[in-house]
Amino acid sequence: MLADLPNNHHRPCSLTRQRVVSQPVLILGGFLITGEAYQPMCRWLRHRTQQPVELVPASRIDWLLTSWSFGWGRLLDRVAAQAEALAARSATGKVTLIGHSSGGVMLRLFLADDPFAGRRYNGRQWVNCLYTLGSPHTALRATPLRQMVDRCYPGSYFSDAVRYISVAGSLAAQDGSALSQRMAPRSYQAIAGRTDLQGDGLVPVDSALLRGSEMVTLPGVAHGGAFGERWYGTPDVVDQWWCGG
């Protein structure tokens, strides 16, 4: 299992990996999480990179519609429009994508050039780096669309053209909120078939670490602000997983 790999596979990027080229950043958030939650992350990245940083607009209704392929298409159409516009302004001609939770799984599909919901996205024409933050890449009880992504584009499928960096939180029970303590056992059971796992309060570490990617596991980091005081979008946590200059 991924969590059993040597510790050097899970150290923050500043210790083990090369920096990401400075270029525009586009963020797709997670299920039912509205844009204001990501503003501290956006501000931190703008300050650090001195590059444009944009968030894909997504309402709670948009996310509820992602039970169906047309709902995925609605959001991925926005990703495509913003990625193309940002790439046109980029010195590298490319954009760095960040996907939180479900957003990270959807962005794996965005990279593909196979037809989906009436469109071929081929995000690789604009993207050369993808971060996923607490994304449930593998799950025993995944939705049909998530299953399709992992079946058709397993692991770091486009690693010849795109750098994949997957980030997982490992939250001790005492560090999580009441919501995390209540939800973690049920969520871990549904995703991995066990309750006694390390994870971010919603997604187990093993599920969030994508096969073939550069892996980062962060102790004390929760899935979202409702799950713990420090989560992937907390500025000091962003500083740990971000590899930009």
Q: What pLDDT sits at residue 18?
A: 67
Cα distance between residue 55 and residue 17, in whole Å: 25
- Is 100's pLDDT higher than 50? yes
- How big is the CA angle at 53 (ends 48 and 59), to the nearest 5 degrees? 135
The whole-number average pLDDT for the span 26-44 is 97
Q: What pLDDT sits at residue 17?
A: 55
| Whether 191 contacts 223, CB under 8 Å | no
| Whether 67 contacts 142, CB under 8 Å | no
Q: What pLDDT sits at residue 12?
A: 45
Q: Which residues contact 159 (CB under 8 A, 6 or more apart)?
A: 212, 213
CATH number at 21-238? 3.40.50.1820
CA dist 230 to 19, 39, 61, 90, 240, Å? 24, 15, 27, 31, 12
Q: What is the pTM of this model?
A: 0.92
Place of tokens 């495509």: 80
Domain ranges of the chain: 21-238
Q: What pLDDT sits at residue 2?
A: 33
Q: What is the mean pLDDT of the chain?
A: 92
